[in-house]
Amino acid sequence: MTAEHTAPDAPAAAVQQQRRAPTLEAVAELAGVSRATVSRVVNDSERVSPEARDAVNAAIAELGYVPNRAARSLVTRRTDTIALIMHERSDTVFADPFFASMLRGVNHALTSTDLQLVLIQIQGDPQRDRALRYVGNGHVDGVLLISLHGDDELATSVSKAGVPLVMAGRLLTDDRVDSVDADNVGGARRAVRHLVTTGRREIATIAGPQDMSVGVDRLRGYTEEVQAAGLPGSADWIATGDFTEAGGRAAMERLLAAHPTLDAVFAASDLMALGALQALRAAGRRIPTDVAVVGFDDTALAPYADPPLTTIRQPVERLGEEMVHLLLRRINDGAGAGSGAGADPSAVVLPTELVIRSSA
């Protein structure tokens, strides 16, 4: 017996052909244009007529063609990826609603783009150095940087590598980069002013870390407002926390030991305010009858505190969105070092507002 060899029938061959990924050449043939024209359309070049662009886009839709991202990056020198770097401890990132709100804002701003988001969390120097190498080796088109501490040179190092960067908050050094921030000074002043107008006269504060601009600025707002009101506001009325609930409780305990008759406290974050509420209840203080409490952020936890927390609302999600919008402008301008075409770095400051609830 001899084996019979038969060619695949026409329907089977057609199915096999359909399963193959459409190529750039197939798009060009269907659109009746050159391969180079298809490449220019895929890479958003302006050197294509409207008619040719329409024909190519129609062919892409009909064939289901998906551009090869790696090949496209060789032409555009873009990775279509941005990095969100958070310089913070893991327990802080996952416990503080601020970071979740920020991420929602960033994701919302990216939904209308083709950009991918890479999350990078760093703590010590080894992680910091790895992140800088990753960014500097061309793996991303730009960087969003959140929660920078002290005189860390990560922001300026990224900018010097020619990678566009936008920070949440300002640098504490003399270097300047693009930044988006809330009105921390004004918000803190508004919080203290509310306490003064409701009759409070011994107002302490739980300040944020002084190696971060947000901590520095909110303490500045407190200090300016108590001085304007002629109230005591020396160093022993200030206890520094770390933006955590536990840190707020410990700071409140120190303040009560130093000033047992204090009648109000401004905490530089809602989490620290929640810790302050715990310490006050444990000490037998009634809130707000004995001690009024104001926080900062207006996180999702604030309305459910016991009692519901009066706080300063900052638009955290919008802050994330504005950071993305500014970064995309810099990327499209082809600008590194935090500014474009010789322009000064931008410093966007978003407004804050007082939200009054039962705690003050």
Domain chopping of the chain, boundaries: 20-76, 81-181+318-347, 184-313
Q: When comparing pLDDT for 109 and 42, which is higher?
A: 109
CATH superfamily of domain region 184-313: Response regulator (3.40.50.2300)
Q: Do domains 20-76 and 184-313 have the same CATH topology?
A: no
| Cα(208)–Cα(214) distance, integer angstroms | 7
pLDDT on residue 342: 45
In angstroms, the Cα distances linking 345 to 213, 232, 330, 336 are 17, 38, 10, 11
341: left (phi over 0), alpha (psi -120 to 50) or beta: left
Q: When comparing pLDDT for 332 and 253, which is higher?
A: 253
20-76 CATH fold: 434 Repressor (Amino-terminal Domain) (1.10.260)
* pTM value > 0.85: no
Determine the average pLDDT of the residues in 168-186.
Answer: 89
Residue with tokens 């075409």, as numbered in its chain: 341
Q: Which residues contact 202 (CB under 8 A, 6 or more apart)?
A: 231, 232, 259, 261, 262, 263, 264
- Is the model's pLDDT at 165 over the cut of 60? yes
Determine the average pLDDT of the residues in 182-197.
Answer: 97
In angstroms, the Cα distances linking 189 to 67, 229, 243 are 53, 11, 19
| Cα(331)–Cα(74) distance, integer angstroms | 16
| Cα(60)–Cα(25) distance, integer angstroms | 11
Determine the average pLDDT of the residues in 56-81.
Answer: 69
Determine the average pLDDT of the residues in 10-34.
Answer: 67
pLDDT on residue 171: 84
Residue with tokens 């002043």, as numbered in its chain: 189
Given the candidates 3.40.50.20, 3.90.1150.10, 1.10.10.10, 3.40.50.2300, the CATH classification of the domain at 81-181+318-347 is 3.40.50.2300
- Count how many residues are written for the chain: 360
- Is the model's pLDDT at 191 over the cut of 60? yes
The least confident of 138-147, 222-231, 289-298 is: 138-147
Q: When comparing pLDDT for 163 and 47, which is higher?
A: 163
Determine the average pLDDT of the residues in 170-175.
Answer: 82
At residue 339 the predicted structure's pLDDT band, cuts being 50, 70 and 90, is: very low
Q: When comparing pLDDT for 297 and 232, which is higher?
A: 297
pLDDT on residue 29: 87
Determine the average pLDDT of the residues in 233-246.
Answer: 92
Mean pLDDT of all residues belonging to the chain = 84
